[in-house]
Amino acid sequence: MEAGDTAPTIPVLSGSLPTAPTVSMELLNRSAAQRRTAVPRWGNGRDVTRYICAAAYLDREYAKSLIKQLAAEPHLGVVAAPACDIPVALRHAYLANTRRHGRDLVLTVLFLLALVFTFWVGDGGITLLVLFLSWVTLFSFELSTKYGRHLQSLRPDRFDPAAAPTPLNDDIATRLRQIGTYAEGNVTTYSGYSPFIGYGFERNQWSLTFDVTTSDQPGSKPQEFDVADLYAHIAERVGSLALPCLEIEERLFVDGSTILEDRRFLPDPLGRPVARVPNEQLDALKRTPEEGARPYLAVYSTGWGGEVVTSLFLRFVRSDSNLFVEAVPTVLYPLLDRYRVIDTLMPRPPVREVFSLLSGTLISTVFVLLAAPVRAVAGFAPDYGMSWRRRRQDKLITRLRRFDYGAVLSVRRHAASAGHHRHFQNADSGMVLKTVEKRVLDALVEFAVERGIDVGELVQRQQMIINNGIIAAGGARVDSSSVASGERSRVSTVLNKIPGLNLD
């Protein structure tokens, strides 16, 4: 029996990740046809959604970006957010911004009073009183944010996605329902360079080509094959691996700048791109590749409560004489530590925390007070100029016939760290990628042998990829943006270590 196959001895692999459930027998028993239509469940984790919702209350800019670049964009696609319920996070983001707007309105009134009594009345005592009231307002807001019912409802024992705040109006509710359909889809409409924006950071990708017209028997010809059958074979073999929360799907990545006239991906030019395409259309694109629309076989392994998602995206292109194989590994790292504060908050604030909030708000009161008028005015339009932006975008679409429908924000990656938090997380990602890559290459050899294709060259490339990791020889290639020794070999700036003022 091959290493990695489902067998009684395999649970050792999953034992290295005690917090992540192993792949279920139901998933292992699915056929390739069933897996291709299955929606990834990302380990059934709910912690990531809690942390993302908390980020909306704790980080003004993050909440603003969720609304401005996702909820209030009328035409853009939505990329995957592994283990995160995006509509629930957006509901909390709208509520968080509403609370901040209320605070900013109060501070704006106090700011105007301070101006009047300082420059017109000339009463310094009243000015000091106004500044004191501003400090009390800011302190009360910070205290109620951390220890009020909204953030406290995100504690592990209280979190209920169904109890998320109600949308502010019917228009927002409709848009959130529309955004929610992308979680069930198989299409990613991207913008810019990388199509894998929703899946974290790309690792070293590799590719190879080999001749499929040379037979392993002299004087005979190899069997012809459909590249769609190769996808199915690879999915079947990889699906038998016993890795933590292993899931497989076929996903189409579409360049958002190329679909304006393409009704397959954009039925309504003034709407959003489609969330799902039929399997027949995916198979057609496998056989006839296009520049702006490329199908991949996506393999995911989710661990550490949904916070670490290791993915491998595979693409196979058949030409007259060669088969091209592309593999792009990605890793979605854990969320930033500051968004996990909800797991350490007590039901009531300790005395030490109260004094910490008092001192912190005392320092930042003046800065927040000066920013309050502008923020208060902007807060009346929670969708940040959606009507103006829609009119401008509609003109680009209808008159210039040029528009990029690709998503610009990844909910998960925007809140994620730049690396693993623990050594074992890094080790687990490496284990998953090496195990899946080996199985893919083994399955590729099996597929070729069954059809009488000479695999001598392919086996040589396989050994080079598995044993050396990084190669550049004979038709195989590895791309990397940088070369370093170790996962954390990067330059850290001194400013990242200097605590800043809380100007939220």
Give 258-265's long-range contacts (Cβ < 8 A, gap of 24+).
258/291, 258/292, 258/293, 259/189, 259/292, 259/405, 260/397, 260/401, 260/402, 260/403, 260/405, 261/401, 265/187, 265/189, 265/293
What's residue 109's pLDDT?
Answer: 94
What's residue 4's pLDDT?
Answer: 47
**260 within 8 A of 397, measured Cβ to Cβ:** yes
**333 within 8 A of 419, measured Cβ to Cβ:** yes
- Give the separation between CA 106 and CA 117, rounded to whole angstroms: 17
- For 85-134, the DSSP string reads -HHHHHHHHHHHHHHHHHHHHHHHHHHHHHHIIIIIS--HHHHHHHHHHH
- Give the separation between CA 292 and CA 299, rounded to whole angstroms: 22
- Give the separation between CA 201 and CA 413, rounded to whole angstroms: 8
- Give the separation between CA 464 and CA 457, rounded to whole angstroms: 11
Instruction: Report helix angle 86-115 to 47-58, nearest 10.
Output: 10
- Give the separation between CA 247 and CA 44, rounded to whole angstroms: 12
- Give the separation between CA 342 and CA 43, rounded to whole angstroms: 21
How far is residue 83 from each of residues 86, 424, 433, 484, measured CA to CA in Å?
A: 9, 20, 20, 30
Phi/psi at 318 (nearest 5 deg)? -100, 125
What's residue 462's pLDDT?
Answer: 75
- Give the separation between CA 177 and CA 446, rounded to whole angstroms: 44
Computed on alpha carbons and rounded to an integer, the radius of gyration of the chain in Å comes to 27
Phi/psi at 131 (nearest 5 deg)? -65, -40
pLDDT per residue, tens digit, the chain (504 aa), is: 444 454 333 333 333 333 333 444 344 445 555 656 678 888 777 899 999 999 999 999 999 999 999 998 889 999 999 999 999 999 999 999 999 999 999 999 999 988 887 777 666 678 889 899 999 999 999 999 999 989 999 998 899 999 999 998 898 999 999 999 999 999 999 999 999 999 999 998 999 998 999 887 887 888 999 999 999 999 999 999 988 899 999 999 999 999 999 999 999 999 999 999 999 999 999 999 899 999 999 999 999 989 999 999 999 999 888 999 999 999 999 999 999 888 888 888 899 989 999 999 998 999 999 999 999 988 887 776 677 888 888 989 999 899 999 999 999 999 999 999 999 999 999 999 999 999 999 999 999 999 999 888 788 777 777 665 543 334 444 454 433 333 343 333 333 333 445 666
- Give the separation between CA 26 and CA 234, rounded to whole angstroms: 19
Q: Which amino acid is at 164?
A: A
Cβ neighbors of 301 (< 8 A, separation 6 or more) are 243, 244, 245, 246, 247, 309, 310, 311, 432, 436
How far is residue 176 from each of residues 39, 56, 70, 167, 450, measured CA to CA in Å?
A: 19, 16, 10, 9, 48
Q: What share of the chain is helix, strand, coil (3-state, %, to 5)?
A: 50, 15, 35
Give 265-269's long-range contacts (Cβ < 8 A, gap of 24+).
265/187, 265/189, 265/293, 266/405, 269/397, 269/398
Q: Please name which of 57, 152, 85, 491 lies closest in space to residue 346, comparing C-alpha atoms.
A: 152
Could you say which DSSP state residue 218 is in?
A: T
| 3-class SS string, 143-186 | HHHHHCHHHHCCCCCCCCHHHCCCCCCHHHHHHHHHHHHHHHCC
**466 within 8 A of 437, measured Cβ to Cβ:** yes
- For 193-217, the DSSP string reads S-TTGGG-EE--EEEEEEESS-BSS
Could you say which DSSP state residue 407 is in?
A: B
Residue 200, Ramachandran bin (φ over 0: left; ψ between -120 and 50: alpha; else beta): left
How far is residue 205 from each of residues 8, 90, 191, 251, 479, measured CA to CA in Å?
A: 33, 33, 20, 18, 5
What's residue 417's pLDDT?
Answer: 93
- For 328-364, the DSSP string reads EEEEEPPBPGGGGGGGT--SS--HHHHHHHHHHHHHH
Could you say which DSSP state residue 495 is in?
A: G
Phi/psi at 166 (nearest 5 deg)? -75, 140
Q: What is the number of other CB atoms lying within 10 angstroms of the CB of residue 389?
A: 16
Q: Please name which of 110, 132, 136 lies closest in space to residue 372, comparing C-alpha atoms.
A: 110
Q: Which two tokens stand for residue 50?
A: 């809690």
